[in-house]
Chains A and B, each alone.
Chain A
Amino acid sequence: MSNASIRVRLTIWYGSALVLIMILFTSALYLVMSRALQDQIDRSLEEAAKAAARSLEEHRFGPFLLLDDLAQAFPELALLDKFFQIFGPGGQVTLQSANILTQEIPLSQTALKAALVGQATFESVRFQEEIPIRLLSYPIRHGENLVNILRVGTSLRSVEEMLHRLIFVLLVASPLAVAASMLGVWFLAGRALRPVDAITLTAQRIAAGDLTQRIQTRSKDEIGRLASTFNDMIARLEASFRQIRQFSADASHELRTPLTIIKGETELALRKPRSPEMYREALESNLEEIDRMNRIVEELLFLSRADLGEIKVASDPVQLDSLIQEVQQQAIVLGQDRQVETTLGRVEPAQVLGDEWRLREMLLNLVDNAVKYSRHTGTVQLSLVRDGNMACLSVRDHGIGISPEEQGHIFDRFYRTDAARAHFQKGTGLGLSICKWIAEAHHGRIQVESILGQGSCFTILLPLLTSPAT
């Protein structure tokens, strides 16, 4: 049963319930109907008996009632298919109506005993084992004495026929009604479940790898809501799959470039005998590229571990003003080759909760970028101010700048601006993604302002540990 479709199950459940209801209903109908018919017969027998008794008393015919007189007094009796019998107090027939003259229906012992104590008795018998008859034995008393027993009877054949016809109608009509209803349920269930089939088909196509599929739905009912929930889920899946695909495509591209260089340089060096200087150059170039690949792999590993929540960030008080001064000292060395000077702007005391090592890494990364993208003999300025309950660390350069379109992407993994690709080949395109992750891991954020050709300013906002009043 659990393997059958909901449609089949619904139809079967509904059909079974309907069959049960039909059985109860038809039985009740039959019982009520037969009861009502019998009551009606009994009432008419009783009325006829009472009328006959009254007539007997009125005419004072005593026990010698003439059948014709009775028929004259009640002409409808003949029409009503009733017959009369009058028994003596001993139970012997003294008189009976013409329609049963040739036959005898003896008085039963039960009826006789009841008549002796003055009670009327209804009985159902089968005449000649065939014709059903309803009998009323009615005592006629004079004072305390039982004078006669009047019996009125009628055939139940018409009643029985009517009941038989009712049974026949019910037996034929009920299964038809059940069948028609089940057909209706089958159709309606199919209609109601059609969107579910559509969802299944779409889901199969999605399972086959086509995440662009969506379920067509207009209704707002339960299934419509299911379909739109499903669509939302697929949209999110599609987006994250696209991200993953983009990410792995970018990662493989970034790794292929150094591989191409290593392979090319090595093959070129091996084509013919070279001077020791040329071998040395090839090896040095290869070493640079191996270092670059190593850096990419390490940074990728960091980011994927960060995504999985495996990077632990300490939560100790960090004095940002002393951190920024240490970084400035290191930056002076970084800038020596290109004569880029790193200065300190305004530095306010500020303490945050976090991981000093990671914060230093983030700041150094930004300063390193600022020095690299600065012009020869340019300046980089570091500053730290408090703004409300946030500490604002800024790294400002006067270098090549970032165009507004590119500003939206620089924190994306592997994204490198055209200028960065052209001017600075050693980047991995992951540094700023790591900075962003570190800032966010400290419940802060990183933002950039930049004008192309005039320079950039990266600002990290971190929640302060102590209140600004100190």
Chain B
Amino acid sequence: MRILIVEDEPKVASFIRRALEEENYAVDVSPDGNQGFDLAREVNYDLIILDLMLPGQPGLGVLKALRTAKVKSPVLILTARSEVDQRVKGLDAGADDYLTKPFAIEELLARTRALLRRAGGDPTGVLQVDDLVLNPVTHEVTRGGRRLELTAKEYALLEYFLRNAGRVLTRSMISEHVWDIDFDTFTNVIDVYIRYLRNKIDREHEPSLIHTVRGSGYMLKANT
């Protein structure tokens, strides 16, 4: 899952980025309203964390412009102002949630999970296909009750597959949602990670869940 942070205070942006990366999200940071808007239009982010006081363009303006430009990514507003009307204005302008600074890291992460879950249309929180289960809160992944040890990138990749189970995912979609902006699309890193992941989930005795769709990309689905 790929997240954009639009925040001008570098130290605030920095600890949010590190916290999100520890949760295996791919994170980009923009310190400026206009740049943030451009990035959000270009990349199909799974979540945008938006500060309201920004140089360039204020957060509310960015949000309105994004919604006008039909960008549907969920938006979580961060604000140092706790006045009700600020929050109301933000939510009315198209935000999905807000947090008042200073906030607890765990709350930010929980709200992030909630927004991602809502976007996927699954309210339970636990992601499951066949007997493969991923818990985004504990980061625990099991197949048929057997615990799997995944690296951060493998986990992120699997989470993206599970959130889009039954859909064909192209390499560019995968790179957009699992890797951050520094990722070079022309390498075969994606195929390498898919292979790692397959080795861990689909063992010889079990029916394989990740399928290669020739000419397009990959798909995760249950065998019927």
Query: Hey, which bits of chain A sit against chain B, CB under 8 A?
Result: 249, 252-253, 256-257, 259-265, 267-268, 271-272, 285, 289, 418-419, 421-422, 425
Contacts and interface: CB of A to CB of B under 8 A. Distances in A.
B101 A256 contact: yes
B80 A271 contact: no
7 contacts: A256-B102, A257-B9, A260-B101, A261-B12, A262-B102, A264-B102, A422-B55
B99 to A, nearest CB: 10
B8 interface: yes
Contacts of B102: 256, 259-260, 262-264
Nearest to A264: B15
The 6 closest A-B pairs by CB, nearest first: A418-B55, A260-B102, A267-B105, A264-B15, A260-B101, A263-B102
A257 B80 contact: yes
Contacts of B106: 267
Contacts of B19: 264, 268, 271
A421 B104 contact: no
Most buried by B among A260, A265, A418, A419: A260
B176 to A, nearest CB: 26
A364 B201 CA distance: 65
A418 B33 CA distance: 11
Contacts of B83: 249
Interface string B1-39: 000000011111001101100100000000110000000
Contact of B80 (A260, A262, A267, A422): A260
A260 B103 CA distance: 7
Given A253-B53, A257-B80, A264-B105, A425 B11 contact: yes
Given A259-B102, A261-B11, A268-B18, 10 more contacts: A260-B101, A261-B9, A262-B102, A263-B102, A263-B103, A268-B19, A289-B11, A418-B55, A422-B31, A425-B9
B125 to A, nearest CB: 20
A303 B142 CA distance: 61
Contacts of B8: 421-422
**A interface SS class:** helix
A271 B12 contact: no
Interface in B47-69: 53, 55-56
Given A261-B12, A425-B9, A418 B56 contact: yes
A264 B12 contact: yes
A260 B104 contact: no
B167 interface: no
Interface in B105-120: 105-106
Nearest to B10: A425
Contacts of A267: 104-106
Contacts of A253: 53, 80-81
A379 B16 CA distance: 37
A7 B15 CA distance: 70
B12 A257 contact: yes
Contacts of A263: 102-105
A271 B108 CA distance: 13
A137 to B, nearest CB: 105
A400 to B, nearest CB: 12
B7 to A, nearest CB: 10
Contacts of B53: 253
B56 A264 contact: no
Nearest to A285: B11
Contacts of B15: 261, 264-265, 268
Contacts of A252: 80
A271 B22 contact: yes
Contacts of B31: 422
A285 B13 CA distance: 13
A271 B20 CA distance: 12
B102 to A, nearest CB: 4
Q: Which of B12, B15, B53 neighbours the largest number of chain A CB atoms within 10 Å of its CB?
A: B15
B200 to A, nearest CB: 23
Nearest to B31: A422
